[in-house]
A = this chain, B = another copy of it.
Amino acid sequence: MKKYQRLAQQITEQIALGVWEPGDRLPSLREQVVSSGMSFMTVGHAYQLLESQGRIIARPQSGYYVAPRPVRQTPAMPPEQVMRDESVDINTYIFEVLQASRDAAVLPFASAFPDPRLFPLQQLNRSLAQVSKTATAMSVIENLPPGNAELRHAIARRYALQGMNISPDEIVITAGALEALNLSLQAVTEPGDWVIVENPCFYGALQALERLKLKALSVASDVKEGIDMDALAQALRDYPVKACWLMTNSQNPLGFTLSPEKKAQLVALLTTHNVMLIEDDVYSELYFGREKPLPAKAWDRDDMTLHCSSFSKCLVPGFRIGWVAAGKHARRIQHLQLMSTLSTSSPMQLALVDYLATKRYDAHLRRLRRQLAERKQLAWQSLLRHLPAEVKIHHNDSGYFLWLELPVGVDAGELSAKALAQHISIAPGKMFSTTNSWASFFRFNTAWGWDEREENAVKVLGALIRELIKK
């Protein structure tokens, strides 16, 4: 094959791969000559060949463009379905469910995020614009771990308003709470260690344990009361546990908030056993009552708690800004961060600093809490209306999840697959556990507004459940 034929073939492949799409301008002859090191003659021949094959089109005074794709009748494809094969590993399953819920055509009841339209986009964009005016070349380096000093300060002040004395130096800014949690877990464990999680729990905890080759001890959690303290005490007595990863406020997926007494008890128990608490507190701002609940860390006098949170669930997920209040572990966590992602992006930190300085955050949070409460109410009413009476809807006064319980024997995974075929996503219980105890449960996100489309989707869900009950 001659040189120009090889180049033409290469470009043909690139078009097939989607590197150049129909309508895209190809590199000019000159650009192609410079980048390929071939002669004008060779590149010219290659382009002529492609033109003669109808793959590209020359537009005078403009350049070469990829030709439109030939119109072809594609057979109607069945909608992509989540695999229900139990041999599929849990991560793939979670991945599939989450990917499906991102499709704009699918109702995102499976989503872990609130509707981003609830967030102050305009204000945040204004802060971003402000950063674009003031960012300096050096700001990059100033924001390496532990992260921007002003942002850590602002976070410390929010703790202070809750009566918690946390120095900005104990805080490390991370890529969302997920990085904070992962780094925290890694900071206090070695592969093979035992770690306590709740059953059910946020799937990110199970994934982190798997990723770090840790062994999970699942302790039962009640939909209203939270973790079973007797079972926890038992686990701590029977196993050499290193850490305990819990959600104390608006637990995901159940929704409970631990009582102050239970938080105090939890901290005391873990401290007695010298077990670190990794506290996932991403929903702390989404309470419905009068007062923001304290994290368990507020009861910790011995620096045994790594408190992880973020702005992702209450202000802006896309910035990927979270943090951990890590006490004496802050340094170790910075090391781990320097080794894995190096740092959080600097303009994002600066934009948050700017936004927080506008003092609009609390007003936004008040509005957000009200809207989430209203939407949850609407979703709850609709589910009560349209789902069969045998379905139990567990309800908590915070956050934006409902936890639904199908009649015994009805599989939520099967419901999920059938629902997805009709462009409705839900989060089946098996995403949240290593055991099979939650097969007939699912999590329902109520934060995405409520309209005819949602109402109809719930009707469809109701019909699907009735079918499954009959089987």
The count of chain A contact residues (Cβ–Cβ below 8 Å) is 94
Q: Which of B126, B129, B175, B186 contacts A175 (CB 8 A)?
A: B175
Q: Is A347 an interface residue (CB 8 A)?
A: yes
Per-residue B-contact encoding for A68-98, CB less than 8 Å = 1, 0 else: 0000000000000000000000011001001
Q: Is A1 an interface residue (CB 8 A)?
A: no
Q: Is A48 an interface residue (CB 8 A)?
A: no
**In the complex, chain B residues whose CB is within 8 Å of the CB of A213:** 191, 213
Q: Is A344 an interface residue (CB 8 A)?
A: yes
Distance A3 CA – B186 CA, assembled complex (angstroms): 39
Q: Is A144 an interface residue (CB 8 A)?
A: yes
The answer to whether B139 and A135 have CB atoms under 8 Å apart is no
- Contacts A163-B36, A347-B318 hold; do A121 and B135 have CB atoms under 8 A apart? yes
Q: Is A431 an interface residue (CB 8 A)?
A: no
Which residues from 314 to 338 on chain A have a C-beta closer than 8 Å to any C-beta of chain B? 316-321, 334-336, 338
The answer to whether B37 and A291 have CB atoms under 8 Å apart is yes
Which of A137, A319, A344 has the most B CB atoms < 10 Å from its CB?
A137
- Contacts A17-B167, A20-B157, A116-B137 hold; do A340 and B102 have CB atoms under 8 A apart? no
The answer to whether B132 and A339 have CB atoms under 8 Å apart is no
**In the complex, chain B residues whose CB is within 8 Å of the CB of A208:** 339-340
Distance A15 CA – B178 CA, assembled complex (angstroms): 30
**In the complex, chain B residues whose CB is within 8 Å of the CB of A92:** 335
The answer to whether B139 and A132 have CB atoms under 8 Å apart is no
Q: Is A461 an interface residue (CB 8 A)?
A: no
Q: Is A31 an interface residue (CB 8 A)?
A: yes
Q: How far is the CB of A110 from chain B (nearest CB, A)?
A: 12
**In the complex, chain B residues whose CB is within 8 Å of the CB of A159:** 19
The answer to whether A178 and B125 have CB atoms under 8 Å apart is no
Q: Is A453 an interface residue (CB 8 A)?
A: no
Can you name the residue of chain B whose Cβ is closest to the Cβ of A208? B339
Distance A104 CA – B348 CA, assembled complex (angstroms): 22
**In the complex, chain B residues whose CB is within 8 Å of the CB of A7:** 163
Q: Is A467 an interface residue (CB 8 A)?
A: no
**In the complex, chain B residues whose CB is within 8 Å of the CB of A45:** none
The answer to whether B153 and A19 have CB atoms under 8 Å apart is yes
Q: Is A288 an interface residue (CB 8 A)?
A: no
> Chain A: residues with CB nearer than 8 A to chain B?
7, 10-11, 13-14, 17-21, 27, 31-32, 35-37, 91-92, 95, 98, 102, 104, 113, 115-117, 119, 121, 125-126, 128-129, 131-133, 135-144, 153, 156-157, 159-163, 165-169, 175-176, 178-179, 182, 186, 191, 204, 207-208, 210-211, 213, 291-292, 316-321, 334-336, 338-348, 351
25 A-B pairs within 8 Å (CB atoms) are namely: A10-B163, A14-B160, A18-B168, A19-B153, A19-B159, A20-B157, A95-B334, A125-B131, A126-B132, A128-B132, A132-B132, A143-B318, A175-B175, A179-B340, A179-B341, A207-B339, A210-B339, A211-B336, A318-B346, A319-B346, A320-B342, A320-B343, A320-B346, A347-B348, A348-B348
Given A102-B142, A121-B135, 14 more contacts at CB 8 Å? A10-B165, A14-B160, A31-B161, A35-B162, A102-B141, A126-B132, A132-B132, A140-B318, A178-B340, A179-B341, A182-B339, A320-B345, A321-B345, A347-B347
